[in-house]
Every structure is written in C-alpha cells, then in structure tokens.
Structure 1
Amino acid sequence: MPAASNKSSHHASPSSFLLLGLPGLESVQVWLSIPFCLVYAVALLGNATLLWIIGTDSSLHKPMYLFLSMLALTDMALPTCILPKMLSIFWMGAQEITFAGCLVQMFMIHALCAVESGTLTAMAYDRYVAIRSPLSYTTLLTADRVAKIGAAIAARAFVCVLPFPFLVKRLPFCRSRLIYHSYCEHMAVVKLACGDTTPNNLYGLTLSLVIISGDLAFIFISYGLILHAVFQLPSLEARHKALGTCGAHVGVIVILYTPGLFSFLTHRFGHNVPHHVHIFLANFYLVVPAMLNPLIYGAKTKEIRSRVMRAMGLGKGLP
C-alpha cells in the first residue's frame, strides 16, 4: 500500500512549473527585456488607437474595419498572455507558474492564435466581396453577418483548443518541473510528461496543420478570385485601386504566417537549430506581428492614416 501511494504521488500533476525564459540566453535576458517591453507598449498603443478611431468614427463602421477591430483586440490580448509573465522572469526571476495557471495560459495562447488566423481568413473574404460586388458590399456583409462570422471564428478556436488542457491534465508528470520556454506552450509542457504523449502529439500536429493549412488555402483561393475579378476591371487605374485596398491585408498575412510557419517547422523538424533560437522565434511570432499590424494598416489605409493625422493636429485639411 505505501508503495502504491508513493507511485500515485510520483505521477500526480505538479502543483507548479518553472518557466526558464530564454534558456541559453540567461546572461542577456535583462537586456532582451528592453526591446520586448518596447514592442509590447507599441502594440498596445497602436491597437488601442485603431480601436478608438474605428469606434468613434461612424463612417468606419464597415465590415473591413469591424474585422480590423477584431484583429486589434486579438493583437492586444495575445502578447498580454505572455509578456507580463516573461518580463517578471527576466526582471525578478519569478519563474514559478501554477499548474492551473499554466493550463489557462496554454489555452489562451493557442485559442487567440486560432482567432487571429480565422480573422485574417475572414478579411480575405471581405476583400473579395468588396472587389467582386462593390455595389452590394454592405448588403452582403451586414454588421449582423460580420458579428456571426466573428462568433464562428471564436467558437472554432474555443472548440478546437479546448482539448489541449484536458490532454495535458491526464498525463502523469514524474520528471523535472522545468519548462524550457518563456510561456506554457503545449509541446513544451508535454515534453515533461512520463506517460504516453502520442494523443497530444497527434492532436497538436493535426490541429496546427488543419487550421494553418485550411486558413491559408482559403486565403489563397480568395486572392485567386480577387485577381480574376481585378483583371476583369475596365481600366488600369481601377485595377491599381482595387489591388491597393488589399495591400495592408497581404502585408499582415506575410508578417503573421512567415515567422509562424518557420517557428512551427523548426520546432517540429529543426533538431539542429539551437533551443534558444526556437524559443526566441516563438516569442517573435506572438509579439512582433501584434506591433506591426496597426502600423501597416495605419500606413496603407487612407481613412485610418488621415484620421490619425487629424487626431495629432497634422492633417486638418485632409478628407
């Protein structure tokens, strides 16, 4: 009986884990916190500015800007899930995170990533409708329909990511409590388990491939249809104007998916890549796009750019 009790205790879920931050870069973590902190501050300021401009200007209450608001909210929430804890590790050595807190952070990070991917996919459809049927754009994509699309994106993320914490909770943990990461990423936690992690590996890989591949496929199809519609426009000027409305969205897609795919591939297959490079890429993928997205939309979208300049008192004569 005592032996069985020890075994049960040995395999029980730990009360907490220790996040190591950026393993291999401990000596420079304090210095690395400076750019991360600045990026986080710019991301919050930029996305909050977008939300304020869209929310206070009734002329921007259109499908494109409603989707952009959803993207901005996600871009504020996603880095907030990791940066405060990461900075506390860098500055104060506060590495401990409770088991429940780790599961919550894991769920929020993966769910918000799925929401961001789904939102960009919806925005590709929005651009197709705007170019293909400009006269009926607002009747096809009403505010109610945009809200339903947003709810479907959030529901998909919730349902797909919900199994993650339950799959982790069922695992026996009898190894180190040290997580070689700066946040509770699913596979980083699973590596500490001593039981059969096949379901976790298969579900994580399948979900990543289905969401990323599915959303990218839909985006490529949308832009294929967009290009087909653009080349049917009568004038060269109309074609340039139509493609110009897609510039910001394409830039955001490249910024989000390129480091994301690179991080995913190196994590799964790049066994010769140094571990701290994996971790740095994972943080880059979650934090930097959140800062760049509002800057891209601010630079590429005339309506937002002009309203920002007017708010700063720099463009009183702008439309």
Structure 2
Amino acid sequence: MDEDLNVTYITLGGHVEVHKYRYLYFVIMFTAYILIICCNSTIVYLIWIHKNLHEPMYIFIAALLINSVLYSTTIYPKLLIDFLSDKQVISYSACLFQYFLFYSLGGSEFLLLSAMSYDRYVSICKPLQYPTIMRKTTVSVSLALAWLVPACQLVASAIMSMKQKLCRFTLQVIFCNNSIYKLHCVTSRAISIYGVFILLNVALCPMLFILFTYTKIFTVSYRSCREVRTKAAETCLPHLLVLINFSLLCTYDVIIVRLESDIPKIARLIMTLQLVLYHPLFNPIIYGLKMKEISKHLKQLFRQYKMN
C-alpha cells in the first residue's frame, strides 16, 4: 500500500527466475506478440479487401481474430514491462481492469464461436432460408451482443471485488486472473455465486449450444450427399478445433486457483503462457490453412509479396 498516493499495489509472483532470464523472456514474448498481431491482422485484411469474403461466416472469423488481438493486448504490454522491471507489481485498480478485460474478451470468444456455429447450422441445415435469417442486421446484433454481454456481466463482478477488503497483496500468477479472489480477507459468497452465473452464461451455455448445433449439422450431413458432407467438414472442423483448444485452456484457468499450491511454479507458468501464447496464434493458422477461400487468397498474397 502506498500511503501517500493511497494506491494499493499487488505483487505478481508467478514469474520464474525473471531476473536471470528477463531478456530471453522479453525477446520470446515480444516476438510472439508481433506474430499474433501480424497473423491475425493478415487474415482480417484479406477478409476486408475481398468482396467474396464479405459473408457472415468470414465476418465472424474476422471478429474472432480481432478479439484474439484485443485479448492478447490485455496481457502482453504489461507482461513485457514486467520482464524488464526490478519489481513485478500492479495497482489493484489496474489489476481489476486487466481481470475484467481478460474474462470479458474470453467470454466474447465463446459467444462469437456460438454465432459462427449458428451461421453454419443455418447454412447447412436450412440453406433456402439462409439469406432471410442471416441478414446484415442479424450479424451486427450477434457481434454487438458477443462483446457487450460478457462486458456488462464482468463489470458487476469487478465492482464487487473492488469493494472487498484485502488481506493479501501477492498473486502467484504473471497477470491478473480469477486468483484475485485470494487477495480478499473474506471469501464472498455473493461473488462466488455470481462468478458461477457468469461462467454458465458466457462459457458453458454457449458451449452446449455449439455442441447441439454441430450435432444437428453432422446428422444432416451424414444423411445428405457427399458435397454437403464436404462443405460441413471444411467449414465446421476449424471452428471445432478452435473451440476444443480454447475450452481446454479455459478449464485450466478456472481450476488453477483451486490447485495452485499443488502445481509446481514452472508448470503453472508454462500452462498460463499457453493460454496467452498458443491460442491467439492457433486461430489464424487454423483459419488460414483450413478455410479454402481464405487459404487461396493467402497464397495469392504471398505470391505477390515474392514477386515484389
């Protein structure tokens, strides 16, 4: 606590030998951050400039990739500063803000994947009704809700946490996640219940919805001709891979607070880095390689670059 400025500082104690390997950590994470921005931005740029990609499916993909860049930006700048600092600290208000952005954008990821699964469901199971259902208004409302619903719910959670008295000032993490609850003197039942409510709303329910829509898609595809099955595999497989990857990493993030003392520090660091390193790079690679139209435009872009 800084008495003069009346600011509470939290120590981020999840780093492993940061003083010894600070420059190595910095170079690796800075390179990863640049790659995340470049890879995601390239796919978004291709979707933006090519009119044949101005369809709901590709618009949702662009939104998902933009979300990945925002998601990474909540973590990387502060992380890079910490690697070069003597002390890895953050004010409690900034910690809450990082927590809010991290989980808000994480929730948006699930809701965007839900919107994408619904788009694929309508396209494959109700092709004649597709133009009527998936209009620009539907897409715009889906995108707005995907970002606003988690943000509105997480604001309340952050405000409730802000009002809690703190008895501890060290987190065994490298950025502010749900372990901030361990700083509170008393575990709030209201915050715990509300946290479960948010988890159901922005993660579990969207995941069940996605699994339901894909079950319907694969059922219809199995009974249809080979062309429909091929279309379903090409467009749905990348979404499922992204969902499985992100769900597994989020499951780790949810349970790590419960098992923190039982997991070695280096193992916690590696798993946490996967959440902010592996996933944001995984999305553009999957969509760039597995989506036929995006892959075609990507190859053309590389050919032009080589020619120049």
Note whether the superposition's TM-score is higher than 0.5. Answer: yes
Q: TM-score scaled by structure 1?
A: 0.86
Q: 1:181 aligns with which of 173, 179, 183?
A: 173
**Per-residue deviation, residues 228-259 of structure 1 (Å, max 9, x unmatched):** 110221x3343223222212111211221122
Letter in 2 for 1:243: A
Deviation at 1:26, TM superposition (A): 5.8
- SS of the residue aligned with 2:11? strand
After the TM superposition, which residues 111-122 of structure 1 pair with which residues of structure 2 at under 5 Å, given as runs? 111-122=104-115
Q: Say if 1:148 and 1:111 are closer, same or farther in 2 by CA, change over 3 A.
A: same
Pick aligned residue for 2:24 from 28, 31, 34: 31
Give 1:249's aligned residue. Answer: 239
- Comparing 258-267 and 44-53, the one that deviates more: 258-267
- What residue in structure 1 maps to residue 194 of structure 2? 203
**2:262 match: secondary structure:** coil
Counterpart AA for 1:108? L
Other structure's SS at 1:48 match: helix
Which of 9, 13, 18 is equivalent to 1:20?
13
CA distance in 2, matches of 1:122, 1:226: 14
In 2, Cα distance between equivalents of 1:45 and 1:124: 26
Contact 1:20 1:89 in 2 (8 A): no
- Output the TM-score relative to the length of structure 2: 0.89
The residue type equivalent to 2:258 in the other structure is R
Q: Deviations over 1:280-318 (max 9, x none)?
A: 3233223321111011100001111111111222699xx
Question: 1:88 Cα deviation (Å)?
Answer: 1.2
Aligned counterparts of 1:109 and 1:73: Cα–Cα separation in 2: 14
Shift of 1:267: 3.3
Contact preservation (8 Å) 2:75, 2:175: yes
**1:129-278 alignment, distance < 5 Å:** 129-175=122-168, 177-186=169-178, 188-233=179-224, 235-269=225-259, 271-278=261-268
Deviation at 1:136, TM superposition (A): 3.3
5+ residue gaps, structure 2: none
CA 157–298 in structure 1, closer or farther in 2 if over 3 Å, else same: same
**In structure 1, C-alpha distance between the alignment counterparts of 2:184 and 2:58, rounded to whole Å:** 44
Structure 1 residues 185 and 214: CA distance shift in structure 2, 3 A: same
Structure 1: how far apart are the matches of 2:18 and 2:92? Answer: 25
- Identity across matched positions, percent: 25
CA drift at 1:50: 1.4
Q: Does 1:45 align with 2:45?
A: no
Structure 1 residue 155 displacement after superposition: 2.1
TM alignment of 1:60-79, pairs within 5 A: 60-79=53-72
Matched residue pairs, number?
A: 304
Q: 1:210 to 1:238 in 2, by over 3 A?
A: closer
Q: Which residue pairs with 1:5 in the alignment? A: none
